[in-house]
A and B are shown apart, each in its own frame.
Chain A
């Protein structure tokens, strides 16, 4: 009798699990890109030019819906990594659970892209969505790319399509499993979409670093690569970041401005004020042809002890051809130079790049 009841019990549980499994829906997408780059360094007398092909990031994107209100989003990237045994490494770029609790309000937990500006919130690792080949320069130095924690999100509220994102999580010196202090990083981001294809937003990000020399996986960047000083500041540091984005991607005109004002504070050298501005303008000729221009600059103060003194200006002239929504080719001619050479290697570079980006 007991065995009979156990069999019924097991059957009921198994059936229930099977029904539950059928209700879970997953959608899997892939994204990737390949580049060709040519560089000419005007500061070099010999071997001034280099050119190469590059296999870019390849991205597995997963959306799973457990029920009407709870979903999972994952983004897993494989990229070239110098020094690794296979020359490639894999990383979890996003892994988040989302709970839609009321109308357009949600709670998200997991690893996310910090919603400090338009680019980081919208494009992530999908090069097929990028309007140009490269990210703004500030992404290599100032923007806290990732965050691991809890996010409160609201979107498309009211006539102006108001949206908010409040994130509390591990800071820029943290890893995906550890933070070295009690103080979490905090992000407050607000935006409106007053008309279709337009988004205007601003955000504030704060983090406290116990040791400013430690760069965790969430910063996505390190000290400026051409920095000549080998001894990094190891004291504590307060990191404030104000960002503002204006984005419009209309039928004809495309415009994006990403402005960043960063203040770092140390007991040693006080407040350091850093600025960055990225402006993109593109014009759509017919449906698939988009020539564009970019002006991108960054200025890091002399007393900054996190990114260190740096001034860089970049100009780009480019063309994007959209074969379809899922395959795009871009070509860019650019010139970059830095103004000051006291703490960085001088930059005086001409470059030409071609990128094939795809998604499916």
Chain B
């Protein structure tokens, strides 16, 4: 009995660790009329941090992020911004207030993000690897 509990404990520990230690390979980067087909991980982070204003296509960069209602928000906040979801919200509020970046759009799910990106030229978003990209373009991570 003790052994079984121990195995269950180890299983839960490993499962929990797996669930919280996602990498970029678990996600898809989607875009619309961005003029690019691939990005490095560092470039992906830079785009989501609002460091770029215009795409090569001439369209403005429109960042689409997961809101606090999304189940991926905490993982992506850590993965991209190395902070909490609250930290991401604060980061963007401050950047927009400075007038140095256009405000991002925060949406609640992968479906809403892919729908928004599909109808917004210049938009870039990130969704879970198993989610459908719809009419968006897939941006490969180098």
Residues of A within 8 A of B (CB): 27, 29, 31, 61, 63, 65, 68-69, 71, 73, 94, 96, 98, 100, 102-104, 106, 112, 121-122, 124, 126, 128-129, 155-156, 161, 196, 251, 287, 322, 324-326, 359
Contacts and interface: CB of A to CB of B under 8 A. Distances in A.
A94 B99 contact: yes
Given A98-B99, A103-B53, A106-B53, A129 B94 contact: yes
Contacts of B60: 65, 68-69, 100
Contacts, number: 73
The list of the 3 closest CB pairs from A to B, nearest first, reads A325-B90, A325-B89, A68-B60
A27 B60 CA distance: 16
Interface centre among B90, B97, B102, B103 (most CB of A within 10 A): B97
B14 to A, nearest CB: 26
A359 B84 contact: no
Contacts of B102: 63, 65, 71
Contacts of A27: 96, 103
B54 interface: yes
Contacts of A161: 51
B101 to A, nearest CB: 9
Contact of A129 (B54, B86, B97): B97
Nearest to B49: A196
Interface in B65-113: 82-84, 86-87, 89-90, 93-94, 96-100, 102-103
Given A94-B99, A196-B82, A103 B51 contact: no
Nearest to B121: A68
B93 A359 contact: yes
A260 B99 CA distance: 24
Contacts of B54: 68-69, 100, 102-104
B125 interface: no
B52 interface: yes
A96 B100 CA distance: 12
Interface of B: 46, 51-54, 58-60, 82-84, 86-87, 89-90, 93-94, 96-100, 102-103, 122
A73 B59 contact: no
17 contacts: A29-B93, A63-B102, A68-B54, A96-B99, A98-B99, A100-B60, A122-B98, A126-B97, A129-B93, A129-B97, A156-B46, A156-B51, A161-B51, A196-B82, A251-B82, A287-B86, A359-B93
Given A69-B60, A100-B53, A104-B52, A251 B83 contact: yes
Nearest to A108: B99
Contact of A68 (B46, B51, B59): B59
Contacts of A155: 51, 100
B82 A124 contact: no
A68 B46 CA distance: 19
Contacts of A69: 54, 58, 60
Contacts of B82: 196, 251
Nearest to A328: B90
A121 B95 CA distance: 11
Contacts of A29: 93, 96-97
Interface centre among A128, A155, A161 (most CB of B within 10 A): A155
A68 B122 contact: yes
B99 A326 contact: no
B96 A63 contact: yes
B36 to A, nearest CB: 13
A324 B86 contact: yes
Contacts of B93: 29, 128-129, 325-326, 359
Nearest to A126: B97
A31 B89 CA distance: 15
A68 B52 contact: no
Contacts of B100: 155
A324 B84 CA distance: 11
